[in-house]
Amino acid sequence: MTMDPAETNGDHYKVIFENDSVRVLSYKDAPGEKTTPHEHPNSVMYTLGPFSRRLISGDQQRDVDMPGGVAVWLAAQEHSGENIGTTNTEVVFVELKDGSLGGRTAGALGPQASSK
């Protein structure tokens, strides 16, 4: 079974660019909408507007409030999500294809703080 979000949740994720190094996805949902479980490789996520989401992976759960106009690192992970806010979630993911970056990061759920 595929865990590719563009296939498992094609109503929310759209591939907007792809080459040998990266795949770029757009994502959009409305308040109350949910996704089914899917995987992300190591990625950069850029938020187009503010949003609130609940991310779930196994027995781990995390609520995330993000402002618009920020780029954050998203370590490789598997999760499902739910828009728990009052605004649409609109983001762009730049997925890295370099296999040397490894697989899922243990315990990773949601965006990580910038190291800037």
- Alpha helix (H) residue ranges in 11-83: none
pTM for the whole thing?
A: 0.83
- Sheet-wide strand order for 22-29: 13-18, 22-29, 89-96, 43-47, 71-74
**pLDDT top residue among 113 and 9:** 9
Residues 50-60 have a mean pLDDT of 96
Q: For residue 39, is it within any domain? A: yes
Q: For residue 58, is it within any domain? A: yes
By residue range, what is the domain housing residue 70?
A: 5-99
Over residues 66-114, the pLDDT tens digits come to 999 999 999 999 999 999 999 999 999 999 997 544 455 555 666 655 5
Give the chain's domain count. 1
Q: For residue 16, is it within any domain? A: yes
CB 37 within 8 A of CB 9: no
Q: For residue 20, is it within any domain? A: yes
- Which domain CATH number covers 55? 2.60.120.10
Instruction: For the chain, give the mean pLDDT.
Output: 89
